[in-house]
Structure 1
Amino acid sequence: MLSYKLEKFEGPLDLLLHLIEKNKVSIYDIPIFEITNQYMEYVNAMEEEDLDIVSEFLVMTATLLDIKSRLLLPAEKDENGDEIDPREELVTRLVEYKTYKSLGEQLKSRQLLASRLLYKDPTIPDEVSKYEPPVNVHDMLSKVTLERLQEIYRMVTRRQVDKIDPVRSKFGNIEKDPVRLSQKLALVYEYAQQKKHFSFRGLLQKQYTKADVVVTFLACLELIKIGRLTVKQEGTFRDIHLDWNEECTTTITREDMEQYD
């Protein structure tokens, strides 16, 4: 929560900054004698009861008197032989304070501007927000010319030609070996023996071509025929469930399966 004091200063640096601006002097070249006298006049006229606030102003008074006395003495020099300005540290503090004070005033102005703004949630009806203007076909095709269409056609055909592998395209069509019933019968036999209960639709989802589906169907019929599989269907067009019949003693060997080809 920001607090502002009217007709009072927020601290010794605020008072010093006020005196510098009042006398229209540069903050980097403070007339320390004149500013110190004016500062002490204000401190002597203070009627503040808070000892902490009074002590802050008294500490700054001592600082100003120290700078004033150092300016009366011969100039001090640093290791490089340059003169040391006793006001340098005070100037640095004043510049920092002025920067933060300026930022505070900007935040205050923004706070005042924000208090005058009102926000309202959008109340646009759905039929208005979802409205899309109708497409004007004439406008859309106004820039389409026969030359442009030919250019698009050539570009599309060129892409198709670029997709053709110049080497592999000469190999001809590669066809998959036909599906053998004996092999499919062995796979379904092993699958049913492991799963025990499965759906016919789930079995067909593992097939890749129409030939696989047809041969898988024939393999299931053969296993149903010899009693190795039992069929259940709860209704017309419902999924067909197949169960492995443990009571069936009929076995099919590899040699028997090869006879189906």
Structure 2
Amino acid sequence: MSYRVRTQAYSGPFDLLLTLVSRQKVTIGSISISEVANQYLEEVDRMGEIDLDVASDFVLVASTLLDIKAASLVPEEPLARPSVDDEEDLDLEGLTPEEAREVLVARLIAYKQFRGAAAALAARGEAEGRMHPRTVGADPEFLGLMPDYLEGITLRSLAVICADIDSRRETFLLEAEHVAPRRLPVALTIASVDRLVRGRGRLCFSDLVDDDDPPEAVVANFLAILELYKRGLVSVRQDELFGDIEIAHVEGADPYELDDSVLAELREDFGEDPLDIGTQEEGSLS
């Protein structure tokens, strides 16, 4: 609201005065309603014509202030709150000044909400009132036409566009560390260790594995030694705790042979001689 008042206790927008009074920031007793009314009449004379919006706001705020001031003059006696079904029919005469102030402020807030909604609907109606729908279809001569999407596009410009799109694409590099190596049965490791021991006659466990070998390769070779020792094909010796294991071939012992079922399975999976695979990938674990 653009109308402003100037009194000894308050100077500023008129509608803000009601808010301050309702929040008890300004004492209603210090506001002269007659002085405010006289200032408004002087403002109307200066304007020359009455603005209905300003006038309606003034009447609402002034009447609310007048009701609050009248209610503040009534002695605060414990009165029974009347029982009503509709708050709009509530009689202010049966309320204390504080209750009357709350009712009047609630009415003012509701009024402002409805007025704001009405203004929004009016603006929307005005905007949509300028719209005119198309009542006819497309012109017949344009129905069969299709735009040339490649107009002005040469092979060179198309190549530049494709290169630009490809440069924005995130390149995915496959790391090789997570790729699992080809696994071989422990039986094949046993056969490979047996061939090495027979060929050399004697070797150490450190000859079978390196520091770079994965743990499964070390375990596979250790299991192979245990299996060969269990079958009596090799003898083992360890001079000290956690020392190197010496492996020796037992003279006259038969060579370790893979079962036919294992050989058939390996040939089916790898398509080559299993013993050659064991020699190339010694130490792998299934």
| TM-score between the two structures when normalised by the length of structure 2 | 0.29
TM-score, length-scaled by structure 1: 0.32
